[in-house]
Structure 1
């Protein structure tokens, strides 16, 4: 049998393991249940992929993240390793074919969502597979105290009955002590080997700045650190607005959010990965599988919902081991705004029931029907139709997704339908006069019987592949045919797809999961409070605060965070600063930013000095926010 390092070198081209990858692999190979807490970027997937390649049979990987499953399967394929993912929206016949491949095709990895394991017939098929390892990714989802609880995870332990001698490997990147203990209990891990890698990042400086002008400080930070950077914002509009502001300041930047098509995401990502632009502005949709070692700065313009998310996003900086910065910018109104907004978008049972009822009506699903039906979905259109608040609806849909009632796939799609509106003889005549279009038109006709009779959905990528063309050319020809009134063409953009995992039962459906809603709402409020405490606390090292949240205690301050830096500053002599400000204002009127630049004192000290001078009537502030000497009468 090959050794772990040989497998790592052969398939992943790495010469050494990171701590504690090798120890985890040894535990798995010895047949022990194993729990791993390894912060983001630590290489968790290697700990199940390498041992699975060393053993006969197939590794069952359970993950809730469709995008991550697809990403890992694609990466394995690129390494010449056979892998399959049973993602949402796949019809039963296709699932049967995929499971046949797993059983008879020498596949090494089968990725499934926990919801798939709730289908008895799928579970029956999996029971017959030669499973050599069961890896539970995002294992914090099994705990009600985790930041992404999914009830379907509670059923995973049932696999112990069918595979009593097969080791379980539970993996998570962020879990408090309470959640760690809950994971081990809920998955029924038997005397597991436990590996927890410290959350400490010695090269990462955590900075929190309370400023009135975020854009100005952001500009200063990015000018000082010109290496690749990520700026996290809360929504799509903020993505494009921030990019526009950055470009006006001379910074090269692009953006990434869930509303982009796969091609747009890839193009924007490549610009940043190839360092043709310095800055990626993104929502939390950005991050899956991102492995760029030289990110210097991760900057949050808005308050994140919990410290688990913040730690993971901030941790994308400095993976090369060099000093890097995780900066969180707030202003005095942020905390008040985020707390009031946060409470206003939490769903109660009545609102959840309303959204589900409207969703079923929107797609015309009859009572007792709808299971496995898949629909394109535009949330803006849905909310406009029923006069519902978008963010609150989105949160309700996410909750329904986590409860496995629906599958919400936030993958941008463009639904193309067309119908030929001239007789087939006329179509043949058109092709004889336009030979350059013939192959694509014939491919459309061959793959869509009935296209003369009604609107048919067109798979543009399939047409492009079968006609040895590309998607842009296919679309160009379809638009030309539409203009020449050969076809009637409809193209509709959608933010997402929704698959119904259950039959419609209205209140009975919601009643079953409502018990989790109250617990999750209380947890979210508690988590937001932890973020606010992290921001407001100005007498404790920021690194200490974060580590303490995740159950680690350290004695020494980090020496590099915003708190530690503030301690090192020499005490300002305000008498001298007052004199300098008076001297400058005797020459001309200035605003606070100009005064700070000219005096070269810290911004907070300048503001404090200006307040003192205003209180003593030494200066005045004008309507244009400029300061000047008060003229004595």
Structure 2
């Protein structure tokens, strides 16, 4: 048994790797820069965790998903693997402790958000770390052609210069051909090296239902298709409304969005994963890192704004390989709503400049000041004070982030954490603190490990239950202990952050480049157009449309999406006959134009079947007729 298989069995309990995992692991293990394209649920984390455990030193994992980062660190710790994370919102003291542990603490994984790569403290400490490999998760974020470009990812190339001989493993679940090429160039791959899993999901049926009664359609689907389900909606308010509707109809359901606190999110996720709750109604905040194999239906009540986002969310259905359904409920009014997102996501440049100026007033930032300053940020309060609608204001702040003026982090729910700053032996001399303080200290030491070397996440409610004290008493005692410098205590806080990446500039010097604004807006519009083509097409195989978008050519229809089923009903042609006749017709027409009668004479098949396939290819747009002559036609995304 190879070392990789031994590690897989020891830490994860599996006897064999899944498709493509071993090939990627072998490639990065041999020191080759490697790009792995693996759809949602493909087991990406194994591809860097196993080779990192086989190597001396520590794996640097760069990822923008803070919630996923925390989950993976906790998951590794539960397997007795030393892992640590650094992200926006941590105090300088926490970051220093984490970095020192990476140098001296024999850690195997350092998870870090891309924005932290650019800090001086990180770059200084990095020189003393023994880095074995670099993993870039969600690597499509490095490409300006990607659907979620983040400027901070461009700093990874500079990190490579500091670690010239360290191989990079880039991972993503969604990348078009141009993005695949761009990722490798921007990460300075020594040689192109791509491992691709097919994006085809043979057990997953893609369905689009055109309906003005979406709630009624949800009931119809859930009553016909048993099993676990996710319903995706666009905003937080709608998660609750839809959940209450389902509960009134006797279906167990919960809602989930980024605005809930961690304890509530964890509880609801566990109830859904255990099957106690059947349906999770959620925004796109739900799903990352959640590996529930038996989801039978993923239903979209609102349209995603890109095929990439849809493919990821739909891909959470049927990970067990059993039949599952990804269903979009589409009303004609959705088209206008989706197009409105363009102006919401890319407000006018003058509006963006106004938001920047008001942000400076909000923090009383003087001209020339600000570089490196970090502030809690309350979007609701900001919008109320300056009379903005939240969606365009949020978009303006994100564009200012893209332009490099600020860093605007998403809302984070940071649990309370603490670190003992006194040595263990000195704690026993502190009896004068009183019985309650002594009881709390002893309970913390029994409940949490590593509290003398690293910040531990704690729950005041849990400590209250274990000690018999109230939550307020726990909080007050921890504040006292912190003031006495016995420990460092950071209470729970839930907030986004604004970090100034540059000093405040005058508005006439504020530059929002064509790359940041016009080119990104153009690509955003193209994705929305592709999404609308997907839901409005009535003839093209849904699976083939998605596969073609991601650069995967295939010659067969899925035979299980709504358009394939409708074609079979309407044409009366068997699947095998259709594929054979289609290929023959297209081959003949690629050579020269022909009449339908010519094709019927030249092809040995039932004439009714030939006529049915010709009609379908005309409807689908694969061929066209001019002056009675049939000819091939250039295909587009929607017609492939």
TM-score category, normalised to shorter length: 0.7 to 0.9
Aligned to 2:532: 532
For 2:317 and 2:237, locate their aligned partners in 1 and report how far apart those are by CA, in whole Å: 24
Closer, same or farther: CA 194–470 of 1 in aligned 2, 3 Å = farther
Matched, 1:439 2:436: yes
> Aligned-pair RMSD on alpha carbons?
3.1
Shift of residue 442 of structure 1?
A: 11
1 CA distance for matches of 2:474 and 2:91?
A: 31
Match of 2:484 in 1: none
Aligned to 1:217: 217
- 1:314 is aligned to 2:311: no
> Is there any run of 5+ residues in structure 2 with no aligned partner, and where?
417-433, 442-455, 477-490, 573-640
Pairwise mapping of residues 417-428 of structure 1 onto structure 2 (< 5 A)? none
- The answer as to whether partners of 2:140 and 2:149 remain within 8 angstroms in 1 is yes
User: Could you tell me which residue of structure 1 aligns to residue 411 of structure 2?
Assistant: 410
Decide whether the 8 Å contact of 1:352 with 1:510 is kept in 2: no
Query: CA 1:477–1:21 in 2, change beyond 3 Å: closer, same or farther?
Result: closer
Given that 2:415 and 2:458 are in contact with CA atoms closer than 8 Å, whether structure 1 keeps it comes out as no
- SS of alignment partner, residue 521 of structure 2: helix
**Could you tell me whether the CA contact under 8 Å between 2:232 and 2:284 is conserved in 1?**
yes
Kept in 2: contact 1:408–1:497 (CA 8 A):
yes
Give the 3 Å change call, closer, same or farther, for CA 106–440 of structure 1 in structure 2: closer
Say how many residue pairs are matched. Answer: 527
SS state at 1:188 partner: coil
Which of 114-123 and 130-139 deviates more?
A: 114-123
- CA–CA distance in structure 2, aligned partners of residues 165 and 345 of structure 1: 40
Unaligned runs of 5+ in 1: 416-436, 445-458, 480-490, 573-633
**Separation of aligned partners in 1, 2:457 and 2:50:** 37
CA contact (8 A) 1:62 1:114 kept: yes
Q: Indicate if the aligned counterparts of 1:460 and 1:471 stay in contact, CA closer than 8 A.
A: no
SS in 1 for 2:114: coil
- Distance (Å, rounded) in 2 between the aligned partners of 1:251 and 1:549: 36
Which position in structure 2 is the counterpart of 1:136? 136
Q: Which residue of 2 aligns with 1:208?
A: 208
Distance 1:469 1:501 in 2: 44
What is the rounded CA distance, in whole Å, between the counterparts of 1:413 and 1:37 in structure 2?
A: 31
Q: In the TM superposition, what is the alpha-carbon distance from 1:146 to its structure 2 partner?
A: 0.1
CA gap 1:157/1:492 in 2 versus in 1, 3 angstroms: closer
Distance between the aligned counterparts of 1:207 and 1:311, measured in 2? Answer: 13
* Match runs of 1:94-105 below 5 Å: 94-105=94-105
Q: Which residue of 1 aligns with 2:174?
A: 174
Report if the CA contact (8 A) 2:463-2:474 is conserved: no
Cα deviations by residue, 1:85-109 (Å, 9 ceiling, x for unpaired): 1111223333222211111111111
Alignment CA distance shift 1:160-1:380 (3 Å) = closer
1:240-259 matches, within 5 Å, as 240-259=240-259
- Contact map agreement 2:415 2:459 (CA 8 A) in 1: no
Deviations 1:538-576 (A, max 9, x none): 11100111001000111111000010111233689xxxx
Aligned partner of 1:452 in structure 2 is none
Deviating more after overlay: 77-86 vs 399-408: 399-408
2:116 match: 116
What residue number does 2:481 align with? none
1:185 matches 2:185 = yes
Is 1:511 paired with 2:511? Answer: yes
Within-5 A mapping of 1:144-293 = 144-293=144-293
Distance 2:159 2:171 in 1: 17
1:58–1:132 CA contact under 8 A, matched in 2? yes
Alpha-carbon shift at residue 394 of structure 1 (Å): 1.8
Contact 1:306–1:530 (Cα < 8 Å) also in 2: yes
**For 1:66 and 1:246, how far apart are their aligned partners in 2?**
31
Q: Does 1:59 align with 2:56?
A: no
Aligned: 1:78 with 2:93? no
Three-state SS of the structure 1 residue aligned to 2:280 is strand
Q: Tell me the CA shift for residue 251 of structure 1.
A: 1.0
How far did 1:80 drift?
A: 0.7
Are the counterparts in 2 of residues 60 and 111 from structure 1 also a CA contact under 8 Å?
yes
Instruction: Tell me the CA shift for residue 374 of structure 1.
Output: 4.0
CA distance in 2 between counterparts of 1:16 and 1:248 reads 45
How far residue 152 of structure 1 moved from its aligned partner, in angstroms, is 2.0
TM value normalised by structure 2: 0.76
Task: Summarize deviations over 1:160-193 as a string: whole Å, max 9, x none.
Answer: 3222222111111100001001111111101132
Q: CA deviation at 1:259?
A: 0.7
What residue number does 2:471 align with? 474
Distance in 2 (alpha carbons) for counterparts of 1:2 and 1:492: 44
Residue 608 of structure 2: aligned partner: none
Larger displacement relative to structure 2 (508-517 or 196-205): 508-517
- The 8 Å contact of residues 375 and 497 in structure 1, kept in 2 or not, is answered as yes
Find out whether 1:379 has 2:379 as its counterpart: yes
After alignment, is 377-386 or 30-39 more displaced?
Answer: 377-386
Contact 1:204 1:317 in 2 (8 A): yes
Please state how far the C-alpha of 1:128 moved relative to its aligned partner.
Answer: 2.4
**Segment drifting more, 340-349 vs 521-530:** 340-349
The Cα of 1:498 is off from its aligned counterpart by 3.6
1:377/1:495 contact within 8 Å kept: yes
Distance, in Å, in 1 between the alignment partners of 2:269 and 2:246 is 17
Task: Give the alignment of 1:536-555 within 5 angstroms.
Answer: 536-555=536-555
Give me the whole-angstrom Cα distance separating, in 1, the residues matched to 2:473 and 2:105. 40
CA contact (8 A) 2:83 2:109 kept: yes
Report how far residue 252 of structure 1 moved: 0.8
Alignment of 1:589-608 (within 5 A): none
Q: 1:499 offset after TM fit, Å?
A: 3.9
2: distance between equivalents of 1:472 and 1:557?
Answer: 64
CA contact (8 A) 1:409 1:496 kept: yes
Question: Partner residue of 2:19?
Answer: 19
Please state how far the C-alpha of 1:395 moved relative to its aligned partner. Answer: 2.0
> In the alignment, is the contact (CA less than 8 A) between 2:44 and 2:171 conserved in 1?
yes
Is 1:337 matched up with 2:334?
Answer: no
